[in-house]
Structures are given as C-alpha cells and as structure tokens.
Structure 1
Amino acid sequence: MDIADLNELWDRVTGTQPRPETWLVLATAALALAAVLPFGVWRWTRNTITIAHEGGHGLIALLAGRQLSGIRLHSDTSGLTVSRGKPTGPGMVLTAVAGYPAPSLLGLAGAALLSAGRTTALLWGATGLLLALLVMVRNAYGVLTVVLTCASFVLVSWLTEPDVQAAFAYLVVWFLLLGGVRPVFELHGRRRRRHRGGQGAGSDADQLAGLTGVPAWVWLILFHVVTLASLSGGARWLLDG
C-alpha cells in the first residue's frame, strides 16, 4: 500500500457521509426496539450489551492503573471482568461503576459521530475497540461472540454501499442506547424482589455499596440517570442530525 492509498484510506475514515433519510433513522430505531423489548429476542441480543458492559469495566480498570487479568463472556449473557490492584479506593470504585453506563455512553458517543456525518469513523472505531477487547477475552464463548460481532462491522465497512453502512451504524447506536437502559431496570427488579439476596447480591451496585458505604439504591439511581439521559440526548442527536 503506497502513500496515495494510505491518504485515500485516511480521508475515507475521517471524512463525512450524507445523513440518511428520516424514515431510515426511524426504521432502525424501531428495529432496535424490537431487539430489546421481547424477552425471546433480548436473551440473544443482550450478548452485545454484555460485551459493552464488560468492556467498560476493562477500559476503566486500565485507565485507573489496575492490571486487567481477563474478561469472560457467558452464554447466559452474564460476564466477568477480573483486574488486579488495590481492592479499595477510587480505582476500584471507578472500575465497578463503569459497567452499566458503558453501553449507553458508547451509544451517546456513536450518536454524536453520526450527527456529525462520521459513519465510517464510527464503524472503524467500533472495530478497533472490539479487537482490543478480544485480546483480553479468556473463554471460548466470549472469543466467538466478540469475533462474530467484530466480523459484522468489518464486512459492513468493506463490502456494502454507504446506505447500508449508515443503516447498520444507526441500528447499532439505537440498540446501544435502548439496550443500555433495560439491564438497569432488570437489576432494579431483581433487587426489589430479593433485597440484598439471591440474584441481587453481588451486583455492581452491591459491590459499590461495600466499597463506598453509599447504599446500593443510590448507585442504581445513578445508573438510571446516566442511561436514560444518554438515551434522551442520543435520540435527539440521531433525529435532529
């Protein structure tokens, strides 16, 4: 690949693409909603949200100076991120708090890129993040899930027309924004049914309560605020352009 090819590639990534028609933006929003609301569909699509959730834990752990040991993604859509370092303190708190907001914040960042016409940058950026995550995945199911997700971005980026790329990008961003909201409500429901026991115990909110002394319900409210605010802001960017 010569300099001219590299320049062309760079221009393609950093350039802007036309905004799709409003009907396509609304159609992708409807498709994303259909992938989040029905439980039979959600049990499969939730894997993508788990990838973002655990990736959020891992990224913040590294930024906080912790040593990331590995990430595991399971077929029941649960996940586990293991990092080494001081078991208490700001670094551990930031790592624990990062999971639930991560999909919504990624969706918000994606909406900002799409509103600026940066469809290709979004697709390539997502591919890079998935490849970085793949290095840290430590189980076969997790590797398969990340590889398939990454492959979908690569294939769409290289083999499809701009209209298809835009539709795919908008669908992904809508799904992150909408899908980031549901797990927090699910956690809230589990805690309400089994207060600090059963499935509620050991959640990120409980871990944060143990680390900070701030009640778990306060952290749940924080998760709700971040995910719902991201959905509101991201939707405005996507619809207004």
Structure 2
Amino acid sequence: MTGTETIIELGVLRVLTLENETDVALHGRVIEKHFPHVSTRSRCIPNHPNGIPSAEAEVDALPYILELGTEMGAQVDALAISCALDPGVSKLDERLDVPVIGAGASVAGSALARGRNVGTLGLEDGTPSVIKDILGDYLQATETVKGAETTNYLTTPEGRAATGDAITRLIEAGCDVVAPSCTGLTTSGVLTNVQRRADIPIVDPVVAMGAMAATAARPGGQTTDQTSTRHEHP
C-alpha cells in the first residue's frame, strides 16, 4: 500500500455472539488480509450464541442488528453485515449515510462473475432467499452441510469433512462455481483447504463482502493523500 492510498474504515457486524474479541474480529482480519487498504472494526450482537440458523432466529436478531448497525454506521465509511441472510441490510441502508453490504448478495454477485452454473452450500435451513433471487436461473444445484443446524458445527472436524463432501456433490451436479451461503464456512477455515482440491472456484462469502464494501465505499478506486472522511451523525 502506498502513502497515497485511502484507508477505508469498514464496520463488520457479526450476528454470532462471541465472547472472545479475537474471534469477533476474525472476519475483519480475513478482509484486511485480502484488502490492505481496508481497516475493520468488528462487533457482534448479544444473545445469539448460535447465530441466525432459522427464520425465527432472524426475526429475533433483527432489532439487535438494527441498533448495533446504526451505532457502527456513524463511525465508519461502510458497514458489512457478515451473514448470508443479509439481515437488516435494506433497513440500515435506508437509515445510514454509508453503504451497507451483506454477505449474501456479495457472494451471489461474485459467483456470477466466475460462472454460469452456480452451486450453493449452506446450513440445513437451506439457501437464503436473497441469494436465490440474485442467482435466478443460474442456480444449478443446492447442497447443505449434513448435521449443520448452526454455524458452530462447521468448525468441528465432522463439519469440515461434511463441507468437503457437499462441495464434491455440487461439482458432480455440474456446477462450475460454488457460492457458500453461510459466513460460518469462512470461520471454519475449510474453504481454503477444499479449494486446493476442487477444479472449480469456491467464492469466500466474507472476502466477497469485503470486496463489495470496499468498492462501494470508494467508487472508481480513486486515491487521495487524505484519510477517509467519517460520516458522523449529530
């Protein structure tokens, strides 16, 4: 990164309640690794130790997401909701003066840039509607990680093995790109290992979200000698 590169402050909102600050910051660190001009601030909502594994959990989590997102949005250049359901994205985008990006729309859009027969992979609750809507007729096949009722299962040895098996099934179904529909698959670390063995691209939803957020925060990729402008609310 050169001295003239603008630093983008990106808020990363986690919908999985975590006690360890290092764990909370994991998705932000992944983004910073791929985009050195992005600096992340990560926080998580309370009272959701299993994340948002169902529609009922999403309804319960939404007030927390809106409250925390509104607070974070006043301190950053863009806000990323690190969940493939994109909960609260549209409401926060209307409310805030900064771009609000969800992992679901990001991974779907990125997958379409890599292929035309997209396979999705998620928890047992299925593929989020936001991803289905964007992919449309390009959705070739869907798979779930067997036994993954919540994101916590994805970090277990059994969950990692089941993830690899599911991606193999997507390849056998004729998919030419995989769009993981759960950011917990980034947390598990399995995507990098599986990508080494797969013959088709596997889009990391957190990396895709970081790319979309960085682009939205600085249209056209312009550089400046000044630091990024904060969007403060009175």
Which TM class, normalised by the smaller chain length?
Answer: under 0.3
Q: Which has the higher strand share?
A: 2
Q: State the TM-score, normalized to the length of structure 1.
A: 0.26
Larger Rg: 1
How high is the TM-score relative to the length of structure 2?
A: 0.27
**Structure showing the higher helix proportion among its residues:** 1
